[in-house]
Structure 1
Amino acid sequence: MRIRGRTLSALLLATALGVSALSVDAFTAVASAPGDAPAVQAAARSHTGHVMGASALPSGDDADGDGYIPANPQVTGVTPSQEVPPQAYFHEFQANCSVTHTAPDDPIVYPGRPGASHDHTFMGNTSTNAHSTTASLTGGPTTCNAPADSSAYWMPSLYKGDQRILPVGPQVIYYKSGVTDYRSVRPFPRGLRFVVGSPMQTAQEFRSHKGFVEGWECGDSFFNVDFPASCPSRPDVQLNIRFQAPSCWNGLYLDTPDHQSHMAYPVVKPGTNDNMCPASHPVALPMIEFKMAFPVNGDMSQVRLSSGRGYSFHYDFFNAWEERTLKALVDHCVVGGLQCDTRGYDQNHPERGAVLNADHRLP
């Protein structure tokens, strides 16, 4: 076990809080920052149960336990596209998935350690648990509209008091282009996984996050970094959030120790309003956007996430799509500049047809 670069105070703090030494990396920045000890301890306590970079043991797909899972094959020699494609306002499809179960598990941050995380609400693959791997997820049963999408999606559970509030029905998960040259987007490699956002982020960090779209909203209340004090008590009002994932990949790793640094958000091309991938992460992948709706309204004073306040919202993605189906949807809808539903059909361009049949399968 390596402790290079960790401070002794962080190690002692983590030990005192009952946190594994494997999780010390995430505490180091907190413990080393200016401020008094009580503030540091409070911050550490509030995030126990989901510490980024905590998986430093051999498990699942990470045979040597160093946190790096190499892609096979690795994608090299890619130059970020700076081309301007034909105008297409939309370049997306949906992968709508329903809630499957809840559990205090996280196969990305705490692989092989059931119960180590705060409670998560899982969607998509029905088998997802702390022991999930690329092999175990691939081809597994799913609540997504397309049977080929065996991917795992999860987020911190939402509560009102002690009552867990689960989204009802299929939740909208967009797959879209995050770069101007939508023609350069390619499918996710199987086994790619990452965490979007952080349970440790502050309200300001949440608001300024590159994935922030509209924050928490309900009724006529928008752009909230924390839960609104109240929402209209009407049957048609739910609590909503939209949050986008990074869509540029370094081409080398399916995961990294912090579960984020192998991915990056697009950057603006100098002198333009065009988005492109940075040179460090040149491979353009679909940009996932969660659009979640929770059936809760009225007095919101007791609403919380299992990870803390509303601005601790984050989510995880573990790709296990059947590769031919994902490629067909990406090529037709994203690269093709269409606004597709879950079948890969754009009602504004019926002449382009659909990718999937009525059963959401490739013909």
Structure 2
Amino acid sequence: MQWTSLAALALVAPSHALIRFGCSQLVVDRLDPLVNPGSNPSPHLHQILGGNSFQPSMKPVEHDLAKLSTCTSCQPSEDFSNYWTAALYFRSRNGTFKRVPQKGNAGFEGQNGGMTVYYMQNQLADYQQKAKVQSFKPGFRMLIGDPAADTKAKADKFPQLTYTCLQDMSTRFPETKNFPTKPCPAGIMVNLRFPTCWDGVNLDSPDHISHMAYPASGNFESQGPCPASHPVRMPQVMYEVIFETKDFNAKADWPTDNTQPFVWSFGDGTGYGNHGDYVFGWKDDSLQKIMDEACYVNCKSMKTQSMDAMNACAIKNVVDEDIGDKDWIAEIPGAPPMKLQAADGSV
């Protein structure tokens, strides 16, 4: 798989790497070893990608993803990290639910669901990638977003969590903080960009966020400086998750109560609770070597595997329940309380 078209107009050689790759679906299960370690089941459903050593409890010191995993659903064959987000549901007129599947991005056709993952020094449009970053360390983990957020003010605490209503697979703007309120012809793309400044000490924190921070001024795109409390510049991890809504775009199927029909697996129909989780698991210093290479997307030091190998890496569900992949279900797994959004965007 090649993505040379992204750099076709570049005239200056990059200084460091930016990588973009696909990850197929590993499993969709009600587990969360970061927020609810050991819980079986966890409160809500997630779609999970990456190394196949994923399990209900993954203690940082004891669970070395790169050593315990025997395969990965991601394109880089040395990336055994785990990436996960909540699952998405469509709420029908009669109140039943069906899970909305994910699909591969442009260039990743044939991928089994999943998402696109980025690691970058500077913003995506900056071909030169001049900044120097330090790779994450074994045992590092973080999350971004708050599933309890139910207003734009609360969601704005995390400025780089957004939605794009895809008119076609090349659509990237505009981005919104709440769910799209009209049908999206090519699907709904969920964008998650993680903070990039590390405190240099803690591989995790009680809230899984505080050991990371946004730039002290400006933002990642403007190369704002890291705050003194979090001085170490790390790669920005970014997820693009595309939910295939083609089977749910007919307005005749939407609820009659003036609410938009898409609901996160934790009951959020506003979209403000958008969040994602990350547990680092690259083998040895493979990520740092890639980040130090002068390359843009196609990096010689990134060992890759075939789409078939990505799709073949999967694990069995731990939680035995109907998640609404085939038949309509009466309630979302875990039966979370609903927070709905009107078709005009109000809550």
The TM-score bracket by the shorter chain reads: 0.5 to 0.7
Cα drift, residue 89 of structure 1? 9.8
Whole-angstrom CA distance in 2 between matches of 1:281 and 1:217: 34
State whether residues 243 and 290 of structure 1, in contact with CA within 8 Å, keep that contact through their aligned partners in structure 2. yes
Which residue does 1:243 correspond to in 2? 192
Cα drift, residue 331 of structure 1? 0.9
Cα drift, residue 203 of structure 1? 3.3
Give per-residue Cα distances to partners, 1:91-139, cap 9 Å, x unaligned: 5112421111112211111111221331111111233221123425223
Whole-angstrom CA distance in 2 between matches of 1:246 and 1:132: 22
Whole-angstrom CA distance in 2 between matches of 1:114 and 1:152: 18
Which residue does 1:322 correspond to in 2? 283
The answer to which of 133-142 and 178-187 deviates more is: 178-187
Larger Rg: 1 or 2?
1
2:31 to 91, 95, 105: 105
State whether residues 75 and 304 of structure 2, in contact with CA within 8 Å, keep that contact through their aligned partners in structure 1. no
Which residue does 2:45 correspond to in 1? 119
1:55-70 mapped onto 2 (5 Å cutoff): none
Which residue does 1:172 correspond to in 2? 116
Which residue does 2:181 correspond to in 1? 229
SS of 2:102's partner is: coil
State whether residues 200 and 231 of structure 2, in contact with CA within 8 Å, keep that contact through their aligned partners in structure 1. yes
Structure 1 residues 339 and 246: CA distance shift in structure 2, 3 A: same
Whole-angstrom CA distance in 1 between matches of 2:290 and 2:225: 21
SS of 2:286's partner is: helix
Structure 1 residues 214 and 305: CA distance shift in structure 2, 3 A: closer
Structure 1 residues 107 and 182: CA distance shift in structure 2, 3 A: farther
State whether residues 211 and 243 of structure 1, in contact with CA within 8 Å, keep that contact through their aligned partners in structure 2. no
Q: Is 1:151–2:95 an aligned residue pair? A: no
Whole-angstrom CA distance in 1 between matches of 2:16 and 2:159: 18
State whether residues 64 and 138 of structure 2, in contact with CA within 8 Å, keep that contact through their aligned partners in structure 1. no
Cα drift, residue 206 of structure 1? 5.9
Whole-angstrom CA distance in 1 between matches of 2:13 and 2:217: 18
Give per-residue Cα distances to partners, 1:334-361, cap 9 Å, x unaligned: xx3x4214xx2xxxxxxxxx2235648x
Which residue does 2:264 correspond to in 1? 305
Which residue does 1:129 correspond to in 2? 55
Structure 1 residues 177 and 186: CA distance shift in structure 2, 3 A: same
SS of 1:187's partner is: coil
Give per-residue Cα distances to partners, 1:312-334, cap 9 Å, x unaligned: 110000001102211111111xx
SS of 2:285's partner is: helix
TM-score (norm 2): 0.66
Which residue does 1:20 correspond to in 2? none
Structure 1 residues 147 and 205: CA distance shift in structure 2, 3 A: farther
State whether residues 141 and 278 of structure 2, in contact with CA within 8 Å, keep that contact through their aligned partners in structure 1. yes
State whether residues 207 and 215 of structure 1, in contact with CA within 8 Å, keep that contact through their aligned partners in structure 2. no
State whether residues 243 and 289 of structure 1, in contact with CA within 8 Å, keep that contact through their aligned partners in structure 2. yes
Whole-angstrom CA distance in 1 between matches of 2:77 and 2:33: 21
Extract structure 1 runs of 4+ deviating beyond 3 A: 86-91, 178-183, 356-360
Whole-angstrom CA distance in 2 between matches of 1:215 and 1:89: 31
TM-score (norm 1): 0.63
Whole-angstrom CA distance in 2 between matches of 1:247 and 1:115: 31
Cα drift, residue 283 of structure 1? 0.9
State whether residues 102 and 122 of structure 1, in contact with CA within 8 Å, keep that contact through their aligned partners in structure 2. yes
State whether residues 101 and 126 of structure 1, in contact with CA within 8 Å, keep that contact through their aligned partners in structure 2. no
Structure 1 residues 109 and 210: CA distance shift in structure 2, 3 A: closer
AA of the residue aligned to 1:113? S
State whether residues 163 and 180 of structure 2, in contact with CA within 8 Å, keep that contact through their aligned partners in structure 1. no
Q: Is 1:277–2:238 an aligned residue pair? A: no
1:1-363 mapped onto 2 (5 Å cutoff): 91-134=17-60, 135-139=63-67, 140=69, 141-161=71-91, 162-168=97-103, 169=111, 171-177=115-121, 182-205=130-153, 208-212=156-160, 214-219=162-167, 222-232=174-184, 234=185, 237-268=186-217, 274-297=223-246, 298=249, 299=251, 301-307=260-266, 308-309=268-269, 310-332=271-293, 336=294, 338-341=295-298, 344=299, 354-357=300-303, 359=305
Which residue does 1:9 correspond to in 2? none
Whole-angstrom CA distance in 1 between matches of 2:16 and 2:290: 14
Unpaired stretches in structure 1, ≥5 consecutive residues: 1-85, 345-353
State whether residues 81 and 278 of structure 2, in contact with CA within 8 Å, keep that contact through their aligned partners in structure 1. yes
SS of 1:205's partner is: helix
AA of the residue aligned to 1:230? K
State whether residues 162 and 178 of structure 2, in contact with CA within 8 Å, keep that contact through their aligned partners in structure 1. no
Pick 1 or 2: higher relative contact order, CA cutoff 8 A, min separation 6.
2
Whole-angstrom CA distance in 2 between matches of 1:247 and 1:278: 11
More helix by share: 1
Which residue does 1:78 correspond to in 2? none
Unpaired stretches in structure 2, ≥5 consecutive residues: 1-11, 92-96, 104-110, 255-259, 307-347
Give per-residue Cα distances to partners, 1:19-73, cap 9 Å, x unaligned: xxxxxxxxxxxxxxxxxxxxxxxxxxxxxxxxxxxxxxxxxxxxxxxxxxxxxxx
SS of 2:287's partner is: helix
Whole-angstrom CA distance in 1 between matches of 2:138 and 2:233: 15
